Structure 1
Amino acid sequence: MRSALVLALSLLAAPAFAATPAMESLKLPPGFHIAVWTDKVPNAREMAVGTNHTVFVGSRDAGRVYAVSYAADGTVEKVRTVASGLQLPVGVAFHKGDLYISAVSRIVVLRDIENHLDAPPAPEVITDKLPTETHHGWKYIAFGPDDKLYVPVGAPCNICDRDSEGFAQLRRMNADGSGSEVVARGIRNTVGFDWRPSDKTLWFTDNGRDMLGDDLPSDELNHVTKTGQHFGYPFCHQGDTLDPDFGKGRNCKDYTSPVLKLGAHVAALGARFYQGKQFPAAYQGALIVAEHGSWNRTAKSGYRVMTVRLNGDKVASYEPLVEGFLAGENATGRPADVQPLPDGSLLISDDDNGAIYRVTYKK
């Protein structure tokens, strides 16, 4: 049955898209099933799970943030707007009852939000000292196991060296906005990161630069093993390719190489470790990655959700969980984030269709 999803207009230039996906065209491993969870979240991006059957969704739609209330069986009951008028509020993070929202140069918080969904509180600013540039200025945010809020600051360009101005970095701060410090450098634009449950180390996706051709450079999956690591941008790409302009006189061995090359221009975004019990044991501890899809590649790449299995700090496998958002060269969906629910099912946001899908497993 073809889903009646509404195509959301992107704020950025994007390739032409065909009709929304027929759900039967989406391909998953045996035993997995996918369905539209809701189609009432325009430009849906990062998701965050509350403690009382609520999923919060950031967006680029008129500065809105949404709250999706769902029943014990996982079905959606109501979609509300809990904030509006914010600048590109793509990132959301739920922490101790409060909802933190990224808004380019600011981070704001809605206090005790689940008890005020019908009358949300006014956003409280915890910091307004982040850069104002909007190129790579929207931010995926998350609280780490150290109880600190992690906030990326993307490069305000395709390729440039502005580290001294605080760009191309991943930072962390206290929940009240104080104590900001740099965690990692040389990161062009990370729009997805999570901490591995077994050792609490941070793993993140990073989007490679454009305009070096169809096949260079690859997007990256990176692993932070110590504070202050430099991951190469803008000098070295994908761990082994010097930039034609900024790489002169540099050596890629001086920077931390990616754990995995994800593919050129796939636009790897949201990434979460799976800890649920619903999926088969082979998915326990795997990293699930949303690939938003290329915008300037001759033959499109990405437009899928991938599973990265690890063996220690090495990649054991990299294989699709959901494919079928491409019909030839016609794209019908763009996965932006992934978010497990407490019951072990997995949500996938699709900002092109203003939808969230739910993946379940049954033998």
Structure 2
Amino acid sequence: MKTTLIGAAAAAVLAMPAFAQGADVPDNLEKLGNFQTTGTTEFTYVPQEGAFADGIRKTLERITLPEGFRIGLYAVVPDARHMAVGPQGIVTFVGTRKDKVWAVTDRNKDRVADEVKDFAPSLKFAIPNGPCFSKDGFLYIAEQNRVLLFPAAEFFYESPDVAAFNLVKQGELIPPEEESYNHTARVCRIGPDGKIYISLGQPFNVAPPEKLDLYREVGIGGIIRMNTDGTGREVYTYGIRNSVGHDFDPETGDLWFTDNQVDGMGDDIPPGELNHQTEMGQHFGAPWYGGGDVRTNEYAGQDVPYDVVMPAVEMTAHAADLGMTFYSGSMFPEEYRGAIFSAQHGSWNRTTPVGARVMVTHVAEDGTATSEPFAEGWIDGNGEYLGRPVDVAQLRDGSILVSDDLAGAIYRIWYEGM
């Protein structure tokens, strides 16, 4: 049965002209797309026990949660960033801001990972921060300037060679001359319309005027969407500084996303943002606004040329809100069902550090939203970070995973009852 499904998936991909391999494609990607071996035979495995793991467990003893909830170490995963849980529940793929994507497997289903190894080791990734899955098991990985597609990744990941194709070729996600070392962590989601949505952070603290026309045209400082064969690219969202987390409300289909706001304006302004988009083409204020209704110094006094949608929730300034997910499980109490769980990475230059926690946002029937801390304690009494949460994902049992790129770990949070 598996062989039949894999063959059907591969045939569907090969029938799509957008995936034709170009001369600029690395040899191994071309080989994998033609179902040829690369000669790669070795994985990099990450030890799951020992002093390092024990130290992380010790840190988790200080994390506070609402009554009835527990947190534990799920996996040691170096540089862990955004996560994509496979639809079959076999493996979780974890991106990084370096050159690895990790495959995390809980083989005995005790809700602790048994194996962490690199995914597709014959490929060289460049900031593969953003994995996401379609419901039919196609894995997409958004890199700095490329998007790759892996049909039936939950089947192929056991081998060093995996079926792999371009969705967006290297150098075509953004213009190559706009590549930067800053704000390059992309995220992706498959929307209720079946299209893939990809965030494209702009690299500046405040984007300069001479860049705005280009950015608007290609979607830098926004969210783009396209068909899952790579065609039909269009800009869906405008006026974002650097969004590294979005998800769709399962009830309404609306897009919600976090946005990191302008630095250098003081400890307490501007606020971070959790935004709610209700239709294509809405504008969320950057660079005229630094966050919320706080105007940037660079554009102060200028007329704003667009109708601006203000954030649904103003978050703590400089807490660095990143990955988010709507909770659709049944393990947590009723009050959390349909809520948004999001990760605050923590401030990088605030006088007193803030963030480094998991937030929960409750959305009312009228669309209004309120946020509060859900899991915190990763900043100690000396103001030192013991961890920096990045993303939140849901397992099939209704528990949630939280990634941490400072500790190099994934945590699992579950509910045991009062």
Structure-1-length-normalised TM-score: 0.91
What does the per-residue CA deviation read over 1:312-348, in whole Å, with 9 as the maximum and x for residues that have no partner? 3444532111100010201100000000111010100
**Match of 2:213?**
164
**Match of 2:166?**
125
Change over 3 Å in CA distance of 1:20–1:278 after alignment to 2: closer
**Match of 1:147?**
194
| Unaligned 5+ runs, structure 2 | 1-48
Equivalent position SS for 2:285: coil
| Counterparts of residues 3-82 of structure 1 (less than 5 Å) | 4-5=51-52, 22-39=59-76, 41-52=77-88, 53-61=90-98, 63-70=99-106, 71-82=108-119
Alpha-carbon distance, 1:77 to partner? 2.6
Alpha-carbon distance, 1:195 to partner? 0.7
> 1:34 touches 1:360 (CA, 8 Å); kept in 2?
yes
- Over the aligned positions, Cα root-mean-square deviation in angstroms equals 2.1
Q: Which of the two has greater strand per residue?
A: 1
What is the alpha-carbon distance in structure 2 between the residues aligned to residue 275 and residue 124 of structure 1?
31
What is the alpha-carbon distance in structure 1 between the residues aligned to residue 224 and residue 306 of structure 2?
24
**Match of 1:10?**
none
2:256 maps to which of 180, 196, 203? 203
What is the alpha-carbon distance in structure 2 between the residues aligned to residue 170 and residue 158 of structure 1?
18
> 2:224 touches 2:236 (CA, 8 Å); kept in 1?
yes
Equivalent position SS for 2:297: coil
What is the alpha-carbon distance in structure 2 between the residues aligned to residue 313 and residue 155 of structure 1?
32
Whether 1:100 and 2:140 are equivalent positions in the alignment is yes
> 1:58 touches 1:89 (CA, 8 Å); kept in 2?
yes
**Match of 1:319?**
372
What is the alpha-carbon distance in structure 2 between the residues aligned to residue 291 and residue 35 of structure 1?
19
> 1:234 touches 1:247 (CA, 8 Å); kept in 2?
no
1:273 maps to which of 321, 326, 329? 326
Change over 3 Å in CA distance of 1:238–1:60 after alignment to 2: closer
Alpha-carbon distance, 1:250 to partner? 2.2
> 2:271 touches 2:292 (CA, 8 Å); kept in 1?
no
Q: Which of the two has greater helix per residue?
A: 2
Equivalent position SS for 1:282: helix
**Match of 1:89?**
128
Change over 3 Å in CA distance of 1:253–1:139 after alignment to 2: closer
> 1:21 touches 1:332 (CA, 8 Å); kept in 2?
no
**Match of 2:317?**
264
Larger deviation: 77-86 or 151-160? 77-86
What is the alpha-carbon distance in structure 2 between the residues aligned to residue 320 and residue 200 of structure 1?
25
**Match of 2:280?**
227
What is the alpha-carbon distance in structure 2 between the residues aligned to residue 79 and residue 202 of structure 1?
32
What is the alpha-carbon distance in structure 2 between the residues aligned to residue 342 and residue 59 of structure 1?
23
What is the alpha-carbon distance in structure 2 between the residues aligned to residue 112 and residue 343 of structure 1?
22
> 2:120 touches 2:157 (CA, 8 Å); kept in 1?
no
Equivalent position SS for 2:61: helix
What is the alpha-carbon distance in structure 2 between the residues aligned to residue 253 and residue 122 of structure 1?
44
**Match of 2:357?**
304
What does the per-residue CA deviation read over 1:278-318, in whole Å, with 9 as the maximum and x for residues that have no partner? 11111001000100000010000110000001113444532
Q: Give the % identical residues.
A: 40
Alpha-carbon distance, 1:4 to partner? 4.0
Alpha-carbon distance, 1:103 to partner? 1.4
Whether 1:289 and 2:342 are equivalent positions in the alignment is yes
1:112 maps to which of 139, 145, 152? 152
Larger deviation: 316-325 or 349-358? 316-325
| Unaligned 5+ runs, structure 1 | 7-17
Higher relative contact order (CA 8 A, sep 6+): 1
What is the alpha-carbon distance in structure 1 between the residues aligned to residue 78 and residue 305 of structure 2?
41
Larger deviation: 287-296 or 125-134? 125-134
**Match of 1:194?**
247
> 1:139 touches 1:151 (CA, 8 Å); kept in 2?
yes
**Match of 2:390?**
336
| Counterparts of residues 344-359 of structure 1 (less than 5 Å) | 344-359=398-413
What is the alpha-carbon distance in structure 2 between the residues aligned to residue 265 and residue 27 of structure 1?
21
Structure-2-length-normalised TM-score: 0.80
Larger deviation: 129-138 or 166-175? 129-138
1:243 maps to which of 283, 293, 296? 296
Q: Which letter does structure 2 place at the counterpart of 1:30? A: E
Q: Which letter does structure 1 place at the counterpart of 2:203? A: P
Q: Which letter does structure 2 place at the counterpart of 1:130? A: L
